[in-house]
Structure 1
């Protein structure tokens, strides 16, 4: 059996020859060299940071050294298909085993596996624990042809994570059954409890941990007060993501399946190209919609959180949340699907009082143990703090993952610093009203009724309970309902007010209300103003796109994209698997006249140059008139 005498040299050669890149990014080189030499690794790297290269390059290097196949644990069939397709385009022998294959195709792949013809094999965690698959691995292990295990989306092993999948817990058998085979576990999102779970349940106590920066500087974060949700979304898309060539690709997350269907239909009625995605749709419909999103330009996917894991589409220009997510990990993971190509993208979220109430209710009504519920509440509180904050969103987001940073200049609070006002007196009025109402009636009431009393509205319900006689009736008439709801959100986030989900979302005071009522704590809120005109007109800046193309360059780029679309359809792959936009742009800028002129273009490896070089030159020469 051969060995890797020079992991660094092997890795760099593969990077250039197979993938067409001249240099590694960030911690990629250190990770790859460690894994190449047989070390276990836990890798935390943001979406778009190049995680897949961290196991694909070692897999190729170790296979060339005669060390056998790398088994990649991947949770989604569609993701396996696209990643294997991309490896085939790069000239790498990769296969997947999943339920989409016929029995004959699966048997053919198993034979190739045992004959040592496969470099990377992708499989779902459910398959990995079956007797048939384990028998295959046992045979390979006995022949010393089991090189590496790569566990993608490894946060799924944690009960604290946002995508917990019990099947991942069974992956502990990899260490127990194949102790000498190195493992690399990778994820884009994990806070401290999730990381600890990953180490424990995957038995990675001896693994080296690599944590890259969680910062995605090309993403602009904005959290907006929810007023008329759909119309706010439509204005955002029309203002920020609609141009002469149509609208950008994006993802819109909603909390319920019904809401997904409604929003997708309304976007289509408004002339946009939108598709629904949720677990209630028939499997073929879900798959067809996902394929259209990946393969067509300008598609907006409206989805529940059932959509998104492993989505590699690089040109998603925005991720919008019409309802707030459950925690910061979910928010970060979902927003991270925007701007994977490094160009500017928006993470835009609507946030309102009802979101807070709904999320608290779901936790309180959960059948989970009290200790688990408390963890969920703590995670939700961190998200609410992010939403209510007047400081840099990025600073708070990165702080949650243990990373220090300075104000980014590219979030709503940095670009348009909100004015704040001392609302301590108003907070005492609101808290006093909740207390007086419960004291007078012997029961608690919801937010709407409390605000009617504060604002002096003599509704039928107010008069029915005699609440117009309370000392707090009308003491908040100088504030609008919007202002009172904003203050109530902050008091709920500070846990001074508790929403009792078991009793019709009524409001109750907690011990945290006492310092505010006694004047020992202050409360500041954002001043409610209309959205600034400068923000209404702002367009997302395209980052790292280089100088503008000439007219000839633009024509060439358009022709290259049209050619790429034809090739992608023929191969049944997303267009970006053939070539990324950045590669086509570099070709359009260079205007190559020979195959030698293609050397050094990022993303154009040896196999792709051999397969497509002549066609690329033909397209360039046709548009240049040469």
Structure 2
């Protein structure tokens, strides 16, 4: 990691990557990884977190193709190198598999669905992953499987595994302590891999203080032994709106959301339970049947229990920016990672329990900046506002005890970060405070960004609903 090394890495990567140039903050991490240094990267949604994974493998391939370059490396590169990447959802795994393959890389996603499909074809995915696969994409549940355990004992695989990637690493602190207990297994994987393996953890949301410390502890990142890239996660091009929920979510009528039917925009609506999801979809069907555009295919339901073919079609509909008018009601399985450029607005029917879920889910809106009028809309109840006031007024020690006692697998309690956002006058300023966002990111001087004005954490005129009421 020095100016000469970064220039070399950029030159090697430019003809291989699917766009103009490598961002400086991507190059920074890649060169650290080539030197064997672990990395934790916090950058905003849509800024290219997945590139850390595939660019690392591309860079290794480039060095293998030109043996004269090997002398500049601190560590030898094994033939046919492989990186294991842990993803939080099956849908994201499959999406990334297709993306990486389109870049000419041999990627393989292994989860319950792909294993079942492979068995029906008489294939063994674990056996296929032992040799020839450059990016092995796994869900956390697979980390305790017999197939993965057998793979780790295979010399052919152990000789070539060089990297461990953890996508959406903040979930180690949220999902890992809740209903996705399998996330805690991620912290044990590093100890089971060869010592040469370098780790890269990425997220858009790492709350400063205890949450960040817990993330690092779960991921095996030790203070002073990893490199941190910390850029602002604010997306000032999206308008953050908080609206009071005038009607409850417990019945079959949702008049607060009636307007979405005639909006003509691709809208993603997050709900907290499948029961609410089913009732809201039924309500939207009834409203749509009497509208001027009564194509019922516009209303979609997305959750982890849905058929993979149906969920794929939903993602395809939301991927096309020119195809507008789709309304997708989803659970948390669409909160993170997946890039669907056609989504224009994100709505939370009932406030999320924490700021991470809000920023991650809201980050699905206008991913490529094609619309310029994307919105994140949070419908909150008066009960949530009361809980927020009580939580902010509660001493920290008591607050932790109350949170522990109130936690259930059905619903997460309101987190202090969400309470602060609900009560804040300026939502954007509160977001910057929660995540310790830099006032300005270091300008990126790559070929794609040179000449652009560095993004500021607070625009000249804040468009959040606290500063600019609707």
TM-score of the alignment, normalized to the shorter chain, above 0.5: yes
- Deviation, 1:51, is 0.2
| Structure label with greater radius of gyration | 1
SS at structure 1 position matched to 2:84: strand
Matches within 5 A, 1:512-591: 535=470
Tell me how far apart the structure 2 counterparts of residues 132 and 304 of structure 1 sit (CA, whole Å): 29
Tell me how far apart the structure 2 counterparts of residues 257 and 114 of structure 1 sit (CA, whole Å): 38
Equivalence for 1:290: 311
| Residues 294-322 of structure 1 deviation map (CA, whole Å, 9 limit, x = unaligned) | 11143211133344333221221111122
| Residues 382-404 of structure 1 deviation map (CA, whole Å, 9 limit, x = unaligned) | 423423333x3211111111125
Does the 8 Å contact 2:241/2:464 carry over to 1?
yes
SS at structure 2 position matched to 1:103: helix
Equivalence for 1:387: 422
Equivalence for 1:127: 142
- Deviation, 1:143, is 5.8
In structure 2, the CA distance between the partners of 1:295 and 1:370, relative to structure 1 (3 Å rule), is same
Unaligned stretches of 5+ residues in structure 2: 65-76, 249-253, 318-322, 392-398, 440-456
Does the 8 Å contact 1:72/1:152 carry over to 2?
yes
Does the 8 Å contact 2:83/2:163 carry over to 1?
yes
Structure number with greater CO (CA < 8 Å, separation at least 6) is: 2
In structure 2, the CA distance between the partners of 1:57 and 1:410, relative to structure 1 (3 Å rule), is same
Does the 8 Å contact 2:340/2:367 carry over to 1?
yes
Residues 1:329 and 2:347 are matched in the alignment: no
- Deviation, 1:371, is 6.0
Equivalence for 2:164: 149
- Deviation, 1:335, is 1.0
TM-score of the aligned structures, taking structure 1 as reference length: 0.57
- Deviation, 1:24, is 2.8
| Residues 367-387 of structure 1 deviation map (CA, whole Å, 9 limit, x = unaligned) | x98264389899634423423
Tell me how far apart the structure 2 counterparts of residues 359 and 265 of structure 1 sit (CA, whole Å): 31
Residues 1:370 and 2:401 are matched in the alignment: yes
| Residues 176-205 of structure 1 deviation map (CA, whole Å, 9 limit, x = unaligned) | 232221111112222122221121122110
Superposition CA RMSD, Å = 3.5
Does the 8 Å contact 2:45/2:363 carry over to 1?
yes
Match of 2:377 among 311, 323, 348: 348
Equivalence for 2:119: 103
| Residues 576-619 of structure 1 deviation map (CA, whole Å, 9 limit, x = unaligned) | xxxxxxxxxxxxxxxxxxxxxxxxxxxxxxxxxxxxxxxxxxxx
Does the 8 Å contact 2:353/2:413 carry over to 1?
no
Does the 8 Å contact 2:41/2:201 carry over to 1?
yes
Tell me how far apart the structure 1 counterparts of residues 11 and 352 of structure 2 sit (CA, whole Å): 42
Equivalence for 2:342: 315
Equivalence for 2:200: 184
Tell me how far apart the structure 1 counterparts of residues 413 and 87 of structure 2 sit (CA, whole Å): 30
SS at structure 2 position matched to 1:17: coil
Matches within 5 A, 1:85-484: 85-99=98-112, 100-101=114-115, 102-103=118-119, 109-115=125-131, 117-140=132-155, 144-159=159-174, 165-177=180-192, 178-192=194-208, 193-205=210-222, 206-228=225-247, 230-235=254-259, 238=262, 242=263, 247-271=264-288, 273-278=298-303, 282-284=305-307, 287-296=308-317, 297-298=323-324, 299-343=326-370, 344=372, 345-356=374-385, 370=401, 372-373=403-404, 380-390=415-425, 392-403=426-437, 404=439, 405-406=457-458, 409-413=461-465, 416=468
| Residues 105-145 of structure 1 deviation map (CA, whole Å, 9 limit, x = unaligned) | 68554454434x22111122222233432332343478631
Residues 1:61 and 2:95 are matched in the alignment: no
The number of equivalent residue pairs is 398
- Deviation, 1:14, is 5.7
Tell me how far apart the structure 2 counterparts of residues 160 and 375 of structure 1 sit (CA, whole Å): 16
SS at structure 1 position matched to 2:15: helix
- Deviation, 1:339, is 1.7
Tell me how far apart the structure 1 counterparts of residues 390 and 301 of structure 2 sit (CA, whole Å): 26
In structure 2, the CA distance between the partners of 1:80 and 1:381, relative to structure 1 (3 Å rule), is closer
Equivalence for 2:453: none
- Deviation, 1:348, is 1.0
Does the 8 Å contact 1:157/1:164 carry over to 2?
no
Does the 8 Å contact 1:155/1:164 carry over to 2?
no
Does the 8 Å contact 2:108/2:135 carry over to 1?
yes
Equivalence for 1:443: none
Unaligned stretches of 5+ residues in structure 1: 363-367, 418-534, 536-626
| Residues 485-537 of structure 1 deviation map (CA, whole Å, 9 limit, x = unaligned) | xxxxxxxxxxxxxxxxxxxxxxxxxxxxxxxxxxxxxxxxxxxxxxxxxx5xx
Does the 8 Å contact 1:97/1:106 carry over to 2?
no
